[in-house]
Chains A and B, each alone.
Chain A
Amino acid sequence: MSSAIRTESLTKRFRRLTALSGLDLDVPENTIYALVGPNGAGKTTAIKVLMNILRPTGGRAQVLGMDSQEIAGKTLAVIGYVSENQELPGWMRVGAFLDYLRPFYPAWDRDLENELVKQFDLPLDRKLRHLSRGMRIKAALAGSLAYHPRLIVLDEPFGGLDPLVRDELIEGMLERAAEATVLISSHDLAEIESFASHVGYLDQGRLKFSEEMTALAGRFREVELTLATPGALPEKLPANWMQASAAAATVQFVESRFDQERTSAEIRQVFGEPSNIAFNPMSLRSIFLAMARTGRGPERGGQE
């Protein structure tokens, strides 16, 4: 699968602050790639560098086969970008905003525009500055989808939105995702989980891992053991066990390289034969919480 976005050792420094530190990112074409991570992880900076809003300090980035620093003018006619803190021309009415954008895009689809306006329930005669935050994002998204972009970049689009608006946005985006690559940054992991095909975890400007969502969900399990006799946790545990804790005869940990046979063998090797073993699937949120609390990424399957 070819890449819609690929970065190599991408670095961005703001004076003494390193926002991106040797980022190697690969977003396959026609995927929905979720870039997640805590606040200040460098998600927005990474997107701004990819969109040539900021210039990288080092490394390189390719977007749709172009060097990111060449992204300007006509090349933006195939990229849709929506950000939570984007400044829209507030004095324009929604209808005038769409009218204004239309001639910039040779591939603008008037029917699609009408569909999006209807779907998002956009009030065409209201000024952008008078719209709610959700409506503004929807207007921006409508103005970014109506020309069938090859790449849709969404920077924290759901922040502070009510669930209804979020659903409308996701629905609107997913309907067009089939023909485009979507890169979305968010820390709303519950929402991402429902539609992202790939996920990358960014922390302190470094990509801790990047992989398919199904693979990620498959290799993380919350393990709960009931031991025959209560006892303390051994000092040395397998490196792929995270957040291990013991209470009486119950031991809990997060397995980041889950394979039922191998994990069971490791458990037996450490604890002997437990009276009960439960392998519980984890939500994306639980996985990231576990990783954030452990302060590390998984040892296998992702990019370190």
Chain B
Amino acid sequence: MKKAKVILIILIMLILVVSIVSCQKQNSQKGNDTRSDQDQADVGDCSQTESGSKQELADESPSPGDSMETKHVNTQLQKITFVLDWTPNTNHSGLFLAQQQGYYAEEGLDVDFQESDMNFIEMVATGSAPFGIASQEQVLQARSSEAEIPIVAVAAILQHNTSGFASPAGRGITTPRDFEDKTYSGWGTELELAFIETLMKQEEADFAKVNIINQSASNYIAAMESEADFAWIYWGWDGINCELQAYPLNFILLQDIDPRLDFYSPTIITNETVINDNPELIRRFLRATAKGYSLAVAEPDKAVEAVLEMAPELDRELVSASQKWLSKKYIDDASVWGTMELEIWLSFKNWMLQYGVLENDLDPAQAFTNDYLP
């Protein structure tokens, strides 16, 4: 039948057109902008840069396929993938600065950032990426789970927790006691509920009187505008945004009520295989990253540019206000960037066990290390 042939021809032509377009696009990209973090749009038949992202992390010698990325003078750069825990934001400034300023290149590294908030811990655990970001509670939960996910925190991005419970100023929620008979809009994790319960216990309020709804897909201001009264937010991003929007909030910082909740929120993680097989890689990576964060502390404006270069669609006003606030928090009262204390790991772990947000007990000293910090 002729018609069948016509369909076949049209299909083949379509495939050709699409692959030609994407090949051209890739070539033009290689020409203008060799930044490896850009689109991974390699259509199978016109290149095999795929291997770059899956490269064995234990392999010290750079693979020849990567020598095409030649922005930095050094052609022997080792390409590694770094998985972000969320959309690029000011928590990541030091990482982006280290890439932009060539600190990673000085260490012989070319870092390929990938944003992924559904499987970032697994990516690091399986070794698809040697480094990533996770918060202290995620590291502890991963390690204590039945799957015994072997991730280890090697540096704290922020020295103190910056999260807490926010509510529109008009609701009059100024202490955890006011949570009673109010509606909480949450992400659906046990951890948040444990936070609320802990805070309320401190003030002898009744946790059972809090009405809880899950709004994980929605945004929290919209939630507070419609049916909820308070939400768990990160001040450095969400709180700053409300300030910019002139949306007045009451904010209760977790550690102000209970010091046990002053945990390390974003930390840089790796897995045990990298620690055993390639400790030098961690040292090189952290040396450059620490330089990046030090620069972010000293020059917030440069950090803003680095974040916006990575994600130009972000709102500049929000990024710079957030950066201004957060730049003081990277090192804060610590002696150097990234260092962590056993005491905080221990007391937070004990708190998690007490509230049943940890499956099994574990030794927190195994979950983190300062050994690779510069």
A and B: interacting chains:
no
Residues of B within 8 A of A (CB): none
Residues of A within 8 A of B (CB): none
